[in-house]
Amino acid sequence: MSLINSLLVSTLERLPKPLVKRFAMRYIAGETSDDAVRVVAHLNANKVMATLDLLGENVLTKEESWTAVKACEDILDGIHRNSLDAYLSIKPTQFGMKIDEEFCFANLAHLLETARGYQSFVRMDMEDSTTTRSTLNVYERLRSRGFENVGVVIQAYLRRSEEDIRCLLATKANVRLCKGAYVEPETLVYKGREEIRLNFLKLLRVLLDAGCYVAIATHDETLVTGATQFIQKNHLEKTAYEFQMLHGVKVSLREKIVADGHRLRVYVPFGKHWYAYSMRRFKENPQLAWTVLRALFSGD
């Protein structure tokens, strides 16, 4: 992160939380499940699907993980009761990945049994590179256990991602493909904008050519254009893929994708841990942080 961006984030961290919250809530549904249901119902009414994400990660006790499992079961029930076109995304470290991989696996298997009862789907998010291998291990074990209602995430900026994808092709994995945003050393990730874009499109082609369902997660108009050109050239059915975007980000691009006839899903985070999530997003996306600061000083 550059010195200017570091100073920018440092400035945001010094602001009172209520002030930050006013603007963070443009990108977060709220603190409660009722807030999330309201936002998702509005998205569905506008022909947009959703992913619900209960904020929280890197838990350090089994009790916290069990609490997260119960909360996610309640979310699945809420999706069903409210007839929402949505599924659940979870972070493995919220389910105990950094406590014990076997413990995390057991928690996720339990949750997927619950989701299967609702005929619902769960996406395992991908976190920083220290958890990549263990997350893929757990995903592969869940699939071998017979769970078809689980998907995984691949980050295009990781140098290892093509090898990881090749291992997923045989099972026709359901993959969310994103650029990746955690701060990682250059030995592990591509740093240049263009090389990340090129790798993203390369991985996308590999997945789609193999018949995998791909969630194309990006706000980059260059990537949206590249993806749609490949889709059109290969006459892919609308059921073979979807686009994904974050709640509150580039709404005009989102509307264009939907108007062009593509399926689109919005990632809707909510929960009491909104502040930590917001600060991480600001660090990952300085442009978003600049937008918040401009709004603060302009009174928007």
Mind listing the pLDDT tens digit for each residue in 219-257?
Answer: 999 999 999 999 999 999 999 999 999 998 899 999 999
176 is catalytic: yes
Q: What is the pLDDT of residue 25?
A: 85
pTM, two decimal places? 0.91
Full residue range of the structural domain in which residue 264 is found? 29-270
Q: What average pLDDT does the segment 51-66 reach?
A: 96
Q: What average pLDDT does the segment 65-82 reach?
A: 97
Q: What average pLDDT does the segment 23-38 reach?
A: 91
Binned at pLDDT 50, 70 and 90, residue 300 comes out as very low
Chain-centroid distance of CA 147 in Å reads 20
**What percentage of the chain reaches a pLDDT higher than 70?**
91
Q: What is the pLDDT of residue 9?
A: 66
Q: Is 7 a domain residue?
A: no
Q: What is the pLDDT of residue 195?
A: 97
The burial class, CB within 10 Å (0-12 / 13-18 / 19+), for 165 is buried
Q: Is 199 a domain residue?
A: yes
Residue 78 has pLDDT above 80, yes or no: yes
Angle, helix 286-298 to helix 17-24, in steps of 10 degrees: 110
Looking up tokens 């299967």, which residue turns up?
116
281 is catalytic: no
Binned at pLDDT 50, 70 and 90, residue 296 comes out as low
End-to-end CA distance of the chain: 27
Q: Which of 34-48, 141-155, 212-226, 277-291 has the lowest mean pLDDT?
A: 277-291
Q: Is 275 a domain residue?
A: no
Residue 2 has pLDDT above 70, yes or no: no
Residue 4 has pLDDT above 80, yes or no: no
Q: What average pLDDT does the segment 157-165 reach?
A: 98
Residue 109 has pLDDT above 60, yes or no: yes
**The total number of structural domains that make up the chain:** 1
Residue-by-residue DSSP string for 80-138: HHTT-SEEEEE-GGGGTTTT-HHHHHHHHHHHHHHHHHTT--EEE---SGGGHHHHHHH
Residue 288 has pLDDT above 50, yes or no: yes
Task: Please identify which of the residues 53, 143, 164, 176 carries the catalytic annotation.
Answer: 176
Q: Is 263 a domain residue?
A: yes
Q: Which of 152, 218, 145, 208 is nearest to 181 (CA)?
A: 218
Q: Is 101 a domain residue?
A: yes
Q: Is 280 a domain residue?
A: no
Strands 49-54, 86-90: parallel, antiparallel or unpaired by DSSP?
Answer: parallel
Contact 184, 129 (CB under 8 A): yes
Angle at 263 between CA 228 and CA 30, to 5 degrees: 120
Average pLDDT, the chain: 92
Question: What letter does residue 36 receive in the DSSP assignment?
Answer: H
Q: Is 217 a domain residue?
A: yes
Q: Which residue has the higher pLDDT, 296 or 258?
A: 258
Task: Please identify which of the residues 123, 125, 197, 281 carries the catalytic annotation.
Answer: 125
Q: What is the CATH number of the domain that holds 192?
A: 3.20.20.220
Q: Is 16 a domain residue?
A: no
